[in-house]
Chain A
Amino acid sequence: MKNAVLEVDAVSKDYGGFRALSRVSLTIDDGEFIALVGPSGCGKTSLLKILAGFEFPTEGRVRIQDRDMAGISPAERPTRMVFQKLALFPHKTVEENIRFPLRIEGVPEDEQIRRVRTMFEMMHLKPEYRHRYPARLSGGEQQRVALARALVSYPRVLLLDEPMSALDAKLKKSLQAELKRIHREVGTTFVLVTHDLEEAMMLADRICVMVAGKIEQIGLPSEIYRTPATRFVAGFIGETNFLPVSVKAEGDGAVIAPLCGRGDPTKLAAGQIAPTIGGERADLLIRPEDVRIAAEAPTSGGWHVEGELTEKFTKGSSTQYRLRVSGLDRDFIAESTGFDTGHIEIGQKVIACFDRACFYVVEGAS
């Protein structure tokens, strides 16, 4: 078991009358890569600022390395921040930017030079960039300089405030891979704030989904994806199908039967039911990649819906089919790997089947 490096204990934050965080508790392990994810205004940035020391909680406590952080300024904390707009000093060269924290700390000159060189190597920055001004670098390079400046003083916790939100998709992907590698190399605890659950899934060891100032779920990426605690978490990534079902409690689990489409009543274990479910109606969560398009309905009472194909998209590595199903207000989505073989035409009636093995239910739409 690893040691906790950072403990957030029932932290609340009020801005005037607005409660940005309400009793948030979170423990972050040493060396872990954790992502705080949520829509804008969910409190994730407020929490990060509290961890950095730019803001202080209205209630509750933050401990870093077993030290209470009440009244401790950002400078005195073993944390460093990578800002959303990077906040590189425009009037200082790349090298001066990276050295800035070391100069303030009073690190000896030769040690400064050594560490800056290490950072250049780790970030794959070209040595000739040393004397350039940040504005002369590309977005991705600026990103690396910001990371280098934050990591050069060997912080215990690195706080990243959506540092990749301004980059285009392709650059983002390559930097995400870089970030993962850098995390492995330095072994520092990373706390990443992002509104992109996909990015969080890709990078983080653990994900903390926040909504309206509260933590909705903390868990491994696979848990967030396969067994979301709430309907919100289930629907936060990509496009997802929700199929209304009836629920009847039975023993530890429950029996569900489709209210739309067909299929034999199925017994679910406790682990296949979100804890927020109450009452007799719920929604079955079906990820598009678990859906198979077929010409005929399965014979043995397997779950399926029947619909009319309204659209098909080729996404390169996969093809997406959208079905209009009576009783559902949104298109039912199926995704299969490979190119569309062209055997289904738009407007044609098709069957969408899904396997019981990955069944999971969340509360219905309110």
Chain B
Amino acid sequence: MSTPGNNRRHWELWISVLPFALLLVLFLIGPMVLTPLLTFQETKLYQLRWTWSFDTWSTVLSNPTYSAVLLRTVWTALLSTIVCVVVAYPVAYALNTRLAAWSNQVQILIIFAFLTDAVLKTFGWVLFLDVHGVGNWLLQKLGFGPGATNILFTPKAAMLGIVYNLAPYPIFTIYLSLARIDPDLKHAAYDAGASKLRTFLQITLPLSLPGAIAGALLVFVLSLGTFLESKVLGGGTKPLASELIRQTFETRVNWPLGAALTFSLVLVALAALLGLVMIGSRLRIGAAGRETS
């Protein structure tokens, strides 16, 4: 049933979403459609030629360098996701319990972590990890021997940078989901005789899983696209997909190849994401009951 008032509201709605919808179509959906189309074209003398062939794809699929980079990227993303969540959980938990009285200040601090540019923070790590840097000096004084932080310009340092830059996301999501848990649930578990560990494992942890999963998804998606950390801290010997794609587009001016690599990365990432989501939904099957009330 459409009354005149209803119709007008429809128009208002359409007009108000139009600018954003245009942006979305032009700069997101458009490129997403163009990317797979581009993969079937060729370049000659740095010129894109609109032909239809599978040459680019056969290069991508036959050259092991490309698949190695893609796999390494997904592996790095998975690993940094796990490390990030493992690092973030105790931090978020402590912020909720030990520092509960300071929750406003703590939230501002977490937001502050996002205000400082990642480039600056990443270069900061170079100074810290350098053989003559603060970190090395400190570890030597503590008796770890010379060259204790001899990881600069290795994938380990890149991982350190990724975790450092992305950990605030899961800290925030886990913090929020922990804060939403009614403290009486813990009391009810204690009242029923449960130990602190059991209460944590059976009540707090399952109820905070949505936050952990949301944080994990954020870290995973973001770390798939990182290039800064591996370039600055990882020494650039083992590039990640985004760096390779950037080079292919910019330096080699091979758009079809760049598009094919992008498309492959998106596919692999989607598959991994789907896997994560499935694990997640299995874990929180119990929590599903909460959403309907």
Contacts of B289 in A (CB 8 A): 90-91, 93, 132-136
Decide yes or no whether A281 CB sits under 8 A from chain B.
Answer: no
Q: Assuming the A-B contacts A52-B191, A74-B191, A75-B190, are A89 and B185 also in contact, with contact meaning beta carbons closer than 8 angstroms in the complex?
A: yes
Residue-wise, chain A 68-94 has the 8 Å CB interface mask toward B (1 for contact) of 000001111001110111011111110
The contact string, 1 if C-beta is below 8 Å from chain A, for chain B 186-215, is: 011111111100100011001100000000
When the two chains form their complex, are residues A75 and B193 in contact, meaning their CB atoms are under 8 A apart? yes
Interface residues in B199-237 by Cβ distance below 8 A to A read 202-203, 206-207
Q: Is B292 an interface residue (CB 8 A)?
A: yes
Contact between chains at A81 and B188 (CB < 8 Å): yes
Contact A104 B206 (CB under 8 A): no
Complex Cα gap A195–B85 (Å):
45
Q: Which residues of A contact B185 (CB under 8 A)?
A: 87, 89-90
User: Quick check: A75 and B192 within 8 Å, CB to CB?
Assistant: yes
CB of A84 to closest CB in B, whole Å: 8
A85 and B184 in contact, given A90-B287, A135-B289 (Cβ under 8 angstroms): yes
A260 to chain B, nearest CB (A): 49
B190 pairs with A91, CB closer than 8 A: no
Q: How large is the interface on B (under 10, 10 to 19, 20 to 34, 35 or more residues)?
A: 20 to 34
In the complex formed, the residue of A with least CB distance to B190 is: A74
Tell me whether B184 and A101 are in contact (CB under 8 A).
no
Find out whether the CB atom of B192 lies under 8 angstroms from the CB atom of A80.
yes
Which residues of A are found within 8 Å of B108, using beta-carbon distances? none
- B191 close to A133 (CB less than 8 A): no
Q: How far is the CB of A36 from chain B (nearest CB, A)?
A: 18
Residue-wise, chain B 251-293 has the 8 Å CB interface mask toward A (1 for contact) of 0000000000000000000000000000000001011111111
Would A105 and B290 count as touching, CB distance under 8 A? no
A156 contacts chain B at the CB level, 8 A cutoff:
no
* Cβ of A241 under 8 Å from chain B: no
Q: Which residues of A lie under 8 Å from residue B187 when comparing CB positions?
A: 54, 74, 81, 83, 87
Q: Inside 8 A of B292's CB, which chain A residues have their CB?
A: 135-136
Complex alpha-carbon distance, A118 and B184, angstroms: 26
Contact yes or no, B206 A87, CB < 8 A: no
> What's the least CB distance linking B180 to chain A, in Å?
11
B182-A91 in contact (CB<8A): no
Q: What is the minimal beta-carbon distance from A208 to any residue of chain B, in angstroms?
A: 22
Partner of A90, one of B192, B194, B198, B290: B290
Contact with B along A233-248 (1 / 0, CB 8 A): 0000000000000000
Collect the chain B residues with CB atoms within 8 Å of residue A83's CB.
184, 187-188
**Nearest neighbor of A74 in chain B, beta-carbon distance:** B191
Which A residues touch B286, using CB under 8 A?
A: 91-92, 133
For chain A, the count of residues having a C-beta within 8 Å of the partner chain is: 30
| B146 CB, min distance to chain A CBs, angstroms | 51
Contact A105 B184 (CB under 8 A): no
Within 8 A of B (CB), among A58-72: none
Query: Within 8 Å of chain B (Cβ to Cβ): is A320?
Result: no
Closest to A135 in B: B293
Distance (whole angstroms) from the CB of B176 to the closest CB of chain A? 16
Residues in A whose Cβ lies below 8 Å from that of B203: 89
Is A46 interfacial (CB-CB < 8 Å)? no
A101 vs B188: C-alpha distance when bound (angstroms) = 10
Residue-wise interface mask of A (289-317) relative to B, using a CB-CB cutoff of 8 A (1 in contact, 0 not): 00000000000000000000000000000
Q: How far is the CB of A97 from chain B (nearest CB, A)?
A: 9
Expressed in whole angstroms, the minimum distance between the Cβ of B286 and any Cβ of chain A is 4
Considering the chains assembled together, what is the distance between the CA atoms of A43 and B23 in angstroms?
60
CA A18 – CA B47 in complex, angstroms?
Answer: 80
Cβ of B287: which chain A residues have Cβ within 8 Å of it? Answer: 90-91
Chain A residue numbers with a CB within 8 Å of B188 are 81, 83, 87-89, 149
- CB of A100 closer than 8 Å to a CB of B: yes
- A153 is an interface residue with CB less than 8 A from chain B: yes
A-side contacts of B207, CB under 8 Å:
90-91
B48 to chain A, nearest CB (A): 54
Residue of B nearest to A83 (CB): B184
B206 & A75 in contact (Cβ 8 Å cutoff): no
| Residue in contact with B182 in the complex, picked from A75, A85, A92, A149, CB distance below 8 Å | A85
Q: Do B290 and A91 have beta carbons less than 8 Å apart? A: yes
A104 contact set on B, CB distance < 8 A: 192-194, 198
> Considering the complex, which residues of chain A in the window 87-125 have a beta carbon less than 8 Å from any beta carbon of chain B?
87-93, 100-101, 104-105
List of A residues within 8 angstroms of B202 by Cβ: 89, 100
Question: Contacts A85-B184, A89-B185, A104-B198: A133 and B288 contacting too (C-beta < 8 A)?
Answer: yes
From 163 to 193 in chain B, residues with beta carbon under 8 angstroms from any chain A beta carbon are 182, 184-185, 187-193
Within B98-140, which residues are at the interface with A (CB < 8 Å)?
none
- CB of A75 within 8 A of CB of B290, answer no
24 contacts between A and B (CB under 8 A): A73-B190, A74-B190, A75-B191, A75-B192, A76-B193, A79-B191, A84-B184, A85-B184, A87-B185, A89-B185, A89-B188, A89-B202, A90-B185, A90-B290, A91-B289, A91-B290, A92-B286, A100-B192, A104-B192, A104-B198, A132-B289, A133-B288, A135-B293, A153-B192
B: which residues have CB within 8 A of A? 182, 184-185, 187-195, 198, 202-203, 206-207, 284, 286-293
Closest 9 interchain pairs by CB?
A133-B289, A101-B192, A87-B184, A75-B193, A91-B286, A87-B188, A135-B293, A90-B290, A91-B287
Known: A89-B203, A134-B289. 20 other contacts (CB 8 A): A52-B191, A54-B190, A75-B194, A83-B187, A84-B184, A87-B184, A89-B185, A89-B188, A90-B287, A90-B289, A91-B284, A91-B286, A101-B192, A104-B193, A104-B194, A104-B198, A105-B193, A133-B286, A133-B288, A149-B188
